[in-house]
Structure 1
């Protein structure tokens, strides 16, 4: 076992000027670590440093079903007792759940899959127009250059142009946002989480996205949590958000 001075996990996270976690996918893993009370320390990486750092650790991106490789990304972890390095949130979550099964965190469920799938189609586009262009405001000058160059190449236009679509996009998802929130409250009689009394990975998926929005821009966060369901899950996960750095 690792000693007290040597955390069991080294977590590679995305750096920002606020000195706290803001990546939604890293937050999913932080929430698992905090819930399971696994000791860890964080190494924050600037956007341009992610690939060279993870390459140097010997990590290799896995292949998708089509054979294309996923890029180097955080979260990545070093499990010090076994000297194991893992990258990508789903693979990290699977490792943590198998290695530290108590308390359990269900990684999937029929309801959870439905919520996550619909959320990616509904909330995902909102994050793209409301959060992405504001994200640059919490990055270092060096990371800003990388972020703007890579994201604008993908978009085919400037980041700020996304904000021109913001109100139209929000107006177009009102009903869908409420519908997803209602799904989150399916088991509210049993507890505040998606499956009732205990958190699942879907709760961490939801809370991680909301915490990301909150760190980047409080107004975007407040706009989302006005819909019933979102705030309830977020607040239920607050005890697992105390360690942010």
Structure 2
């Protein structure tokens, strides 16, 4: 049994995850049809839980000490714990070779570069996403964040004009991703064809938060589905079509 660790509790549906990085793993597991369960942790429970499972740190704190973050998984079949969404994807490819690979041989570096580009582009939407994100987090989750990181400044309010400018920036920024799909033809997947790779789950994990937080019928989401000549909306629809295997 695979257990995936996420932040929580929150108002985010379990099938979506409370973190875009966790979402990448959820989408990967769904695509591979691997059964799993999700366990949510407060911010102050992440490090001790990871250490108890021998899940490695993912980065370092400003003082140089190890920093533990979600997602990480524990697989009772192998007894192994893996941290970082990309490393988890590679582990699942290797450990469950009968499932479709999401990091085909020779594509790892390219996918990591693409992932970095997408995550940087997504930053332009933070002024409209962060206030919404705060609304979806439970008070106990926010309080646990205070214990670990201290008081976090609330995102400043922006005017309607500034909001429109942010969304327009997002549209233009994601339009620039079209160059990455130059060889994929009409496929919604970055490598073409009918099979996604990890990089596709990265894109979907970022933008699906807009659908969840603003609502499927919202003006914001109706606009986003048309980004990149409609590819973004079709990609999300395709990725969300891979069902979770019930435990």
TM-score range, shorter chain: 0.7 to 0.9
Conserved? CA contact 1:22–1:212, under 8 Å: no
- 1:73-107 per-residue CA deviation (whole Å, 9 max, x = no partner) reads 11111111111111221221221111123312126
Count the aligned residue pairs: 232
Secondary structure in 2 aligned to 1:131? helix
Change in Cα spacing, 1:186 to 1:153, as seen in structure 2 (3 Å) is farther
CA distance in 2, matches of 1:35, 1:153: 38
Q: 79-88 or 113-122: which moved more?
A: 113-122
Change in Cα spacing, 1:63 to 1:136, as seen in structure 2 (3 Å) is closer
The corresponding residue for 1:123 is 122
Q: CA RMSD in A?
A: 3.2
The corresponding residue for 2:70 is 74
Q: 1:116 deviation in Å?
A: 2.9
- The one of 6, 23, 26 equivalent to 1:13 is 6
Give me the TM-score of the superposition, normalised by structure 1: 0.78
Q: 1:49 deviation in Å?
A: 2.5
- 1:159-193 per-residue CA deviation (whole Å, 9 max, x = no partner) reads 2x06455433334444332121x235434436331
The corresponding residue for 2:166 is 169
CA distance in 2, matches of 1:163, 1:148: 24
Q: 1:70 deviation in Å?
A: 5.4
Change in Cα spacing, 1:144 to 1:35, as seen in structure 2 (3 Å) is same
The corresponding residue for 2:141 is 143
CA distance in 2, matches of 1:205, 1:95: 17
CA distance in 1, matches of 2:148, 2:158: 18
Q: 35-44 or 221-230: which moved more?
A: 221-230
Conserved? CA contact 2:188–2:235, under 8 Å: yes
Conserved? CA contact 1:12–1:74, under 8 Å: yes
Q: 1:36 deviation in Å?
A: 1.2
CA distance in 2, matches of 1:131, 1:83: 37
Unaligned segments of structure 1, at least 5 residues: 1-7
Conserved? CA contact 2:122–2:206, under 8 Å: no
Conserved? CA contact 2:3–2:36, under 8 Å: yes
CA distance in 2, matches of 1:135, 1:114: 26
Unaligned segments of structure 2, at least 5 residues: none
